[in-house]
Amino acid sequence: MRQTHFTRLRGSLTLLTAALISLPNATSAEWIATNPGGGGALNSPVITHEGYWAVGSDLGGVYWSDTKGAAWEVVGADRGLTATHVASLASHPAGTLLIGTDDGLFLGRSDGHSVSHVYPGGYIPAIAVSADPLVVYAARHETYDGAAPQLLGSTDAGRTWSKIDHNLPRAFRVLALRAHPTSPHTLWALSGEGRFATTPAQAWRSDDGGKTWQRRDPGEGEVVDLAYSAQENGTTRVILTTEHQGRGAVWTSDDAGSNWRALSDNTKALDASGVILPDARDPNRLRLIDFNYRSHTTTSFLWSSEDAGATWVRRENTASGGWSRADEDWGMGSSYQGLTQTIGYRADNPNTLLWSNNQFLFHSTDGGRSWHDSVSHAQGAERWSSRGLDNVVPLVVEVSDADPNVVYAGYMDLGLWGSRNGGRSWRNLNDTRWSHNWGGKGGNTFTVLADPDEASVVWAQVAGDRPDPWHLLHSTDHGRSWTALTGGLPARISQLDSLVLDPYSPPGERTLFATVDGDIYKGVNNGSSWTKVLACGDCHGLQISDAVLFAFGPSGVWRSVSDHGALQWQPMALPVELTDGWTPGQHWLNNAYTYSGPIELATRGVTEMWLAIKGQDKGFYYSDTAGKTWQRVHRSQHARSVAVDPKTGEVLIGTSSALHAGGYAPDSEGILVHPHGRSATAWQPLNHGLAYPFATRVKVEPDGQRWSISPGQGVMVWR
């Protein structure tokens, strides 16, 4: 079993922090994630029969913990899970974990290792292990947004699968499967609102292993959840929750859904509904996690009954911990996969529960009365470090040349963060004035620029949601306070991708360049006054080398010599091999699946250049004639980044088939390194520590420290 720093040191925050400051030349060097504890779009939490915790994500595979959430590991392609989008999870008593993805079914050990692809293809939104552990069921849709269900069955505990002919309606998006506690051939299927498709919320039952089905819900409102509950006489009953005309209700049936009655006289009056949590140890104890969306709020409640549902007590849910302050919008919502994929627990150990939502994971050890953050660690006042559960999308990492301990990271959704200790802990730098609806608890940051001589000076682009106005800010105190830069810039900025600084401009009077809405602007006096200097149209990248400024986008590459005055721009004459198929008017982020064009440019000296070009039959190109002639040094349709190590002379390239969505492709190679980058041979992988071979950015600092960005795992440092 590969032992990462997080594996060896999990459970000890002090030692986990020490892993981030290990010597750069250590023989066990690898990429180590360093984030504030971002969480991400999470769903389908489970607690396995062995007590492990696992949760699925939409970009980073499965996150797994054997320390009750104190630290997490990523189960990804390096362990056999070659799909990044996890739609469902189920624990099997044989010591295995069943994983439903957007590329079929996977089966792995419960300890998160030895994952194999057992049924390729299709979208698997639900899995159920029957009373006979050899018999397992799974729902499959042909496409991620499909509604016509297929049913898969296994008679060898999930190792092999076959399709089951059935009569479920074609307009039936499966959200959950519920197995009978004693009959392996009785199965319920629930439909309703999923992440990518919605059909009427109903409950259908099969008594013959999924071959024939009948609708068996009360027919009064939309079905929310269904579960089996033991009774004192040893029999089982079915509990079902619904929403109807803005009210919640709880129902019970003693004959497997043929007849229903209100569980108690007061449940309709009390407006109770939600996810059902029976207690296998106590038939009189029932609980509901009620999200109460029917009231058009995000308030959530715990309903509990100690008399088999005759009377109920309602308690408002609260959560503690986490940098978001766990407000209702962030802390206590449902997962993207729906309410039935939000809560994870075991009925035989009902006091421990997991709660996943569209950003965070919380846990409870007192039966749902109180909830605690499972994503981040508090590291003193206003500083946070990750537990390793980071299904995040950073877009930029920036290190101060003046003080390598000063690091900034810009994320989608999480916005702007800063570290003063080399990434060991992070501070939220999102200002409530500029993050719009995020209220300072996130946003979108695409570019950051640290002053090379003054460690406290930084410029950053910030925005709320991406359609909101974008802002360019300046700080002289490490981002604790900000000043907006507006002079000469468009009144409303929709895109600001890149910032560079003229190294010959003096501290305190810096000259900057920025790509703003596809054009190039020059800012003087630390960016207080701006002028458009190139009407490029769709430039998104800048690179400055000595006095030469490069601007690039899918319409071309321009070069200009900066003499502290007027800029003289010249388009670079690139061969057709490089430019064929480029997509002017598109952006590498906004058009992630179709964009073709330059992504990043790196230089060494005055004549050597490397250009990363994304697109079919493209890759990485090298010029030793200042761009007059080019040769391809590595072929890749997933080219993202290129960097030169100033100490060793090595060239690093980053490739990734994933960006903010999408997933694994076999030809995504992650990070490669070359002794000098001038030839197409001798490239070697540098992926130790990456769960998936994804790298959208690679950077090498003047001191030789290497950083990267991997979608899902986030900001990575090589140590």
**Partners of 602 in beta bridges:** 610
Contact between 518 and 540 under an 8 Å Cβ cutoff? The reply is: yes
Supply the DSSP symbol for 155: S
Distance (Å, whole) CA 482 – CA 122:
48
Measured in residues, the chain has a length of 719
Tell me the C-alpha distance between 302 and 467, whole Å: 36
Rounded CA gap, 167 and 138, in Å? 15
Round to whole Å and give the CA distance between 484 and 206. Answer: 62
Q: For the chain, which domains are there?
A: 222-316 (no CATH), 573-719 (2.130.10.10)
The stretch 94-107 carries a mean pLDDT of 98
Q: Is the pLDDT of residue 23 over 50?
A: no
Rg of the chain over CA atoms, in angstroms?
27
In the structure, what pLDDT confidence band is assigned to residue 466 with cuts at 50, 70 and 90?
confident
- For residue 24, pLDDT over 80 is answered with no
- What values do phi and psi take at 522, rounded to 5? -110, 130
pLDDT at 567: 81
Distance, in Å, from the CA atom of 684 to the CA atom of 593, rounded to the nearest integer, reads 27
Position 268 confidence tier, pLDDT thresholds 50, 70, 90: low
pLDDT for residue 319: 82
DSSP reduced 3-state for 29: coil
Residues pairing with 541 in the sheet = 552
Say how many C-beta atoms besides its own lie within 10 A of residue 589's C-beta: 18
619 pLDDT higher than 70: yes
Of all residues in the chain, the percent with pLDDT exceeding 90 is 80
Give the helix ranges, DSSP H, for 319-386. 328-331
Question: What is the per-residue pLDDT across 41-73, written as a single tens digit (0 to 9) for each?
Answer: 999 999 999 999 999 999 999 999 999 999 999
Q: What is the pTM of this model?
A: 0.93
Please tell me the distance from the alpha carbon of residue 458 to that of residue 485, in angstroms, as a whole number: 12
Q: Say if residue 531's pLDDT is above 50.
A: yes
Calculate the average pLDDT of the chain: 91
Q: Examine the pLDDT at 19 and tell me if it is beyond 70.
A: no
Per the structure block, which two tokens stand in for 101?
Answer: 């993805």
Secondary structure E strands in 465-547: 470-475, 483-484, 496-501, 512-516, 519-524, 529-534, 541-545
pLDDT in tens, 127-179: 999 999 999 999 999 999 999 999 999 999 999 999 999 999 999 999 999 99
Residues 637, 712: Cα–Cα separation, whole Å: 20
Taking the C-alpha atoms of residue 703 and residue 449, their distance in angstroms, rounded to an integer, is 18
pLDDT at 563: 58
User: 19 in helix, strand or coil?
Assistant: helix
The enclosing H or E element of 106 equals: strand 104-109
pLDDT digits (tens, 9 = 90+) for 569-611: 999 999 999 999 999 999 999 999 999 999 999 999 989 999 9
Task: Give one DSSP letter per residue of 623-662, joined into a string.
Answer: ESSTTSS-EEEEE-TTEEEEEE-TTT--EEEEE-S-SSS-
In terms of C-beta density within 10 A (0-12 exposed, 13-18 middle, 19 or more buried), how is residue 616 classed?
A: exposed
Question: Do 482 and 431 form a contact (C-beta atoms < 8 A)?
Answer: yes
Least confident of 87-101, 252-266, 292-306, 548-562: 292-306
* Predicted confidence (pLDDT) at residue 704 exceeds the cutoff of 80: yes
Task: Name the DSSP class of 620.
Answer: E
C-alpha torsion sign, points 628, 563, 544, 412: negative
Tokens, residue 593: 């699946």
pLDDT confidence of residue 267:
55
Residue 25, pLDDT above cutoff 80: no
The DSSP bridge pattern shows strands 415-419 and 407-413 to be antiparallel
Provide the pLDDT confidence category of residue 310 given band limits of 50, 70 and 90: confident
**What pLDDT band is residue 529 in, cutting at 50, 70 and 90?**
very high
Rounded Cα–Cα distance for residues 89 and 467 (Å): 34
110-132 pLDDT, tens digit each: 999 999 999 999 999 999 999 99
pLDDT band at 20 (very low <50, low <70, confident <90, very high): very low
- Give backbone dihedrals phi and psi of 79, rounded to 5 degrees, phi first: -110, 5
> In degrees to the nearest 10, what's the CA dihedral of 81, 83, 84, 89?
-70
Q: pLDDT band for 8, please (50, 70, 90 cuts).
A: very low
DSSP 518-536: TEEEEEETTTTEEEEEE--
Could you tell me which of 477, 430, 484, 483 has the C-alpha nearest to residue 455? 477
Return the pLDDT at 119: 98
Q: What is the pLDDT of residue 549?
A: 94
The pLDDT value given to residue 121:
97
Asked if the model's pLDDT at residue 679 lies above 90, the reply is yes
How many whole angstroms separate alpha carbon 511 and alpha carbon 562? 11
> Helix %, strand %, coil % for the chain, to 5?
5, 45, 50
Distance of CA 389 to the CA centre of its chain: 9
Distance (Å, whole) CA 91 – CA 71: 20
- Residues 349-370: pLDDT tens digits? 999 999 998 889 999 999 999 8
